[in-house]
């Protein structure tokens, strides 16, 4: 039972972190996005994709 509580707490914290970081990947809806904001979001998405692909390559070679 204690293990389940810890897993729930961990998942809740991970969700909070993801929600806080989502701003790095989508422009704010409260205002019209500037070209700079869109380029910044695109850059973050490309970097994240590169990291995912690198992890995929590393995990497939193991």
List Cβ neighbours of 29 (8 Å cut-off, separation of 6 or more): none
Q: Are the beta carbons of 41 and 25 closer than 8 angstroms?
A: yes
**Higher pLDDT among residues 37 and 25, named by residue:** 37
Report field, pTM of the whole predicted structure over 0.85: no
pLDDT at 51: 92
Of 11, 19, 21, 27, the residue nearest 48 (C-alpha): 21
Percentage of the chain surpassing pLDDT 70? Answer: 85
Q: What span, in angstroms and rounded, lies between the C-alpha atoms of 16 and 23? A: 12
pLDDT at 50 over 70: yes
Q: Are 27 and 41 in contact (CB under 8 A)?
A: yes
Average pLDDT over residues 4-14: 88
Average pLDDT over residues 7-19: 87
Q: Give the number of residues written for the chain.
A: 62
Higher pLDDT, 19 or 12: 12
């Amino acid at each position: 039972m204690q293990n389940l509580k810890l897993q729930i707490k961990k998942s809740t914290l991970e969700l909070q972190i993801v929600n806080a970081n989502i701003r790095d990947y989508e422009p704010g809806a409260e205002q019209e996005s500037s070209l700079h904001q869109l380029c910044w979001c695109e850059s973050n998405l490309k970097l994240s994709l590169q990291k995912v692909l690198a992890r995929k390559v590393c995990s497939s070679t193991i």
